[in-house]
Amino acid sequence: MAAPLPDAAPSNWVDRHAPPGLQPWLKLGRFDRPAGIWLLMLPGWQGAALAGAQAGQWPDPWLLLKILAGAALMRAAGCAYNDIVDRDIDAKVARTAGRPIPSGQISVKQAWAFLAACSLVSLAILLTLPPLAIALGVGSLALVAAYPFMKRITWWPQAWLGLTFNWGALLGYAAATGTLGWPAALLYASGVFWTLGYDTIYAVQDLEDDALAGVKSSALRLGGAAPKAVLGFYVASFTLALAAGWMAGLGPLALPPLALYGMHLSRQAARLDVADPGLALALFKSNSLAGLLLFLALVAGMWRGPLGL
């Protein structure tokens, strides 16, 4: 049997540069694995970019910075919460047994304190946004709180993660405009299918361990049909992103990066092999680039032509 995949690359910056006493805390917040920060941040950036492009403007750089900080902190808080809830399951899965809580480096009480600190700083950032964005931020807590339990009750926890991780598309749009609309709703739906695809790829790493631990995932449910299903999820994501741009009246310069987004997603689905967990991890990590391509498409759409999209 091949050696289990590490929870983070051995060359990550935390193991190389962080003081030993700080390393368990940074790993609790997954700061050694920045892909998750990108995947939580990018929907918020996309929402802000869509709102700006709809008005023919660049996205507000200060808003983008706030979204980045908030995403990093809330992802850290969410990971700590997930690890608190899943500590017994994590101890049974080779890839996660070394995490700070199941390995005994951080106690549950300490993890709760870490979660509270990250959440309070995130709240301070949220309170600088318009009222609708604040309400959306508070409303997202219900999705976050329920997520760790989804793998116990449904084969589709990845869909719930999609609802949770892409909430920022609505929040970013509302933070920029003070309102919501169909373009934001379509972008959110696009993100849900995007996450359903990439997190199914991610779950391929844990097929055997998840089955032994008795937890559910879309990868387990789909089995050998996972590549075709991921392609279907990604086609839905691309179509909904195109519809969001059309509803917002974006210009034709959005099309080239949007086409690259679609090509990137289709290539992931074509390469996915449920018997190759190492490749699955690499494909999952490449979604930071996919999300950035969609963000660039939305920014480019601010330049309108005579026919729009």
What is residue 300's predicted lDDT score, i.e. its pLDDT?
A: 94
> What six digits make up the tokens of 51?
């709102």
pLDDT at 293: 97
Phi-psi sector, 214: left (phi>0), alpha (psi -120 to 50), beta: left
List pLDDT tens digits, range 28-51.
Answer: 888 888 888 899 999 999 999 999
Rg of the Cα atoms in the chain: 19
The CA distance from 114 to 112, in Å, is 5
Give me the pLDDT at residue 90, please. Answer: 72
HSE (side-chain half, CA atoms, 13 Å) at 213: 23
Q: What whole-number distance in Å separates Cα of residue 299 and Cα of residue 301?
A: 5
267 residue type, one letter: R
- Cβ atoms 39, 291 nearer than 8 A: yes
Surface-to-core class of residue 236, CB atoms within 10 Å of its CB (0-12 exposed, 13-18 middle, 19+ buried)? middle
Which CATH code, of 3.40.309.10, 3.30.565.10, 1.10.10.10, 1.10.357.140, is assigned to 19-300? Answer: 1.10.357.140
Low pLDDT (below 70) residues in the chain? 1-11, 93-94, 208-214, 305-309
6 is written with which tokens?
């590490």
- pLDDT value at residue 22: 78
pLDDT, residue 5, reads 39
CB–CB of 8/32 below 8 Å?
Answer: yes
- Beta-carbon contacts of 141 under 8 Å, excluding residues fewer than 6 positions away, are none
Q: Which residues contact 135 (CB under 8 A, 6 or more apart)?
A: none
Residue extents of the structural domains in the chain: 19-300
**Residue 120 C-beta-side C-alpha neighbours within 13 Å:** 6
CB atoms within 10 A of CB 208: 14
Instruction: For residue 275, give the H/E element and its range.
Output: none
Read out DSSP for 70-122?
HHHHHHHHHHHHHHHHTHHHHTTSTTTTTSTTTTTSS-HHHHHHHHHHHHHHH
Q: What is the pLDDT of residue 4?
A: 38
pLDDT digits (tens, 9 = 90+) for 89-144: 777 766 777 788 888 888 888 899 999 999 999 999 999 999 999 999 999 888 88
- CA angle (143 as vertex; 211, 278 as ends), nearest 5: 40
Where does residue 156 rank: exposed (0-12), middle (13-18), buried (19+ CB within 10 A)? middle
pLDDT the model gives residue 277: 84
How far is Cα 30 from Cα 52, in angstroms, rounded to an integer?
A: 31
Report pLDDT for 213. Answer: 63
Contacts of 289 (CB under 8 A, 6+ apart): 264
- The pTM assigned to this predicted structure is 0.86
Output the pLDDT for position 108.
86
